[in-house]
Structure 1
Amino acid sequence: MTRTDGGRVLEVLEEVLARMGRTQPVPPVTTLLALAAVAAVLVVPRPLWRVSRMLVTIVHESGHAVAAVLTGRRLSGIRLHSDTSGLTVSRGRPRGAGMVVTLLAGYPAAAVFGVATAAVLGTGRAVAFLWVVLGLLALMLLQVRNLYGLLVVLVVGGSLGAATWLLPGTYLSWLAHLICWVLLLAAPRPVVELLLSGRHPGSDAGQLARLTRVPERVWQLLFLVVTSAATVLGAALLLPLEEWTAAWWG
């Protein structure tokens, strides 16, 4: 790398840090409600759900990966599949608390991340949030072990990176809030689908049942309670009651 190239890299890094340090105004309640409606359209109809579910899968597998690392397991890789499923492989004891925590972290990950995002967006740090997401996608890229997963992360990360670099702050705030709404509204749906489809020994809940002797249905219901509660909490953070009342009653 030449000095000129190094200088350009430093300029880009300085610009990124400057943008991350800026705050953006939180959209008015009417805009937040409109973004929630757009998110619902992305989550509810089945054709669009196949697209938005991949976002949930990325966060789901990231939850497994983070939990595995935090509990001392060795992360072997992540796979994302065209049917919107995923697989995170880690090495360590096949039983015990570390494996249980790793399995537990998947389904609630999107909801928990959605709540954390809502809290951050309330401070006006929408652009900083988007750059953090880009950093997390870059880390995930290092762990992806199949071509389809690699393409998905590159497309998502590339699109988000281009938007973050090119769009003005107001639009980026809308984009960040839209992502948050999608995470919050979409998080319970895979759990509901799991409940309706019956027993699946290979699912997170099925594996937890084998490890803990607690019935699979109990774990499914626990996932549903956690994701639903997080959706309500995240919505409350995005739409404080007094602002909702003012928008509704004028």
Structure 2
Amino acid sequence: MLEPLGDLTAAQTQVALVVCAGLVALLVIAFDTTWRVARNVVTIAHEGGHALVAIMTGRTMTRIRLHSDTSGVTLSKGRPTGPGMAATAFAGYPTPPLLGLGAAALVAGGAVPTMLGLAIMVLLGTLVLIRNVFGVVSVVLTGAVVALVIAYGSVTTQYAFACFVTWFLIVGGLKTVLEMAQKRSRLQRRGAPTSDPDQVERLTGVPAGAVVALFALVGVISLILAANLLLAWPPLP
């Protein structure tokens, strides 16, 4: 059970933790120094999304690489065209906000330990596919933080951390879409861009601009639904 903070009731404590976790996530994302480090977590989710959809569509995963500039690449074997390849190319950017929305549903349903345990499982699954040292270090450090919260955090600490992760994945995912759109705009002036939306356009014929807009829409809808879940539900039992 959440412990009331000061003179706050349990319900007020829950709302305060949700709001404070969101503000901390915004601060981490807003400042370049912290974002440069924390962005690796979004990249892990992004590349994990590519990998998961590749496996689900029957492609053979070969490796994931995470780079120190917070970029990443996921390679798989299979047909170079077709629905499977298109779905794999599309999956990266929607994955962080959708994971955040899933986390919000678990937190709102009182399943914070389950949410944190699933986070460890996802990280372990990603670690198996990592093929460079920086990637291994990034995933291990991220998993270590989650493991420390599970092992030593109080119920209130775990709840606040889970809310932070929810906000961070959704808002951080939205920021990566904005960064990609800006970078893509610059590359268009120099030649053919190679972003995920441009790959989707070549595979499906759907304009890359529309794909970018769809990525942003997924993030915005995830943010609205997650806020409703975390703020509208009754206090956790």
The bucket for the TM-score relative to the shorter chain is 0.7 to 0.9
Q: Which residue of 2 aligns with 1:78?
A: 64
TM-score, normalised relative to structure 1: 0.83
> Secondary structure of the residue that 1:75 maps to in structure 2?
strand
1:215 Cα deviation (Å)?
A: 2.2
On the 8 A contact 2:94/2:173 being kept in 1, the answer is yes
On the 8 A contact 2:149/2:157 being kept in 1, the answer is no
Q: Which residue of 1 aligns with 2:128?
A: 142
On the 8 A contact 2:108/2:233 being kept in 1, the answer is no
State the superposition RMSD in angstroms: 1.9
Which of these residues, 205, 208, 211, is aligned with residue 203 of structure 2?
A: 211
1:184-212: CA deviations, max 9, x gaps? 21111111112223146221111111112
Matches within 5 A, 1:9-158: 28-158=14-144
Which of these residues, 203, 222, 228, is aligned with residue 220 of structure 2?
A: 228
> Secondary structure of the residue that 2:76 maps to in structure 1?
strand
> Secondary structure of the residue that 1:239 maps to in structure 2?
helix
Q: Which residue of 1 aligns with 2:179?
A: 193
Q: Which residue of 2 aligns with 1:239?
A: 231
Distance 1:34 1:126 in 2: 17
Distance 1:241 1:151 in 2: 37
* Higher mean displacement: 206-215 or 103-112: 206-215
TM-score, normalised relative to structure 2: 0.87
* Higher mean displacement: 140-149 or 23-32: 23-32
> Secondary structure of the residue that 2:129 maps to in structure 1?
coil
Give structure 2 stretches of 5+ with no counterpart. Answer: 4-10
Q: Higher Cα Rg: structure 1 or 2? A: 1
> Secondary structure of the residue that 2:93 maps to in structure 1?
helix
Distance 2:180 2:145 in 1: 30
> What letter is aligned with 2:225?
L
On the 8 A contact 1:184/1:235 being kept in 2, the answer is no
> What letter is aligned with 1:181?
W
Distance 1:137 1:212, change over 3 A: same
Matches within 5 A, 1:158-177: 158-177=144-163
> What letter is aligned with 1:142?
V
Distance 2:106 2:234 in 1: 19
Distance 1:167 1:111, change over 3 A: same
On the 8 A contact 1:56/1:110 being kept in 2, the answer is yes
On the 8 A contact 1:35/1:181 being kept in 2, the answer is yes
* Higher mean displacement: 216-225 or 31-40: 216-225
Distance 1:124 1:242, change over 3 A: closer
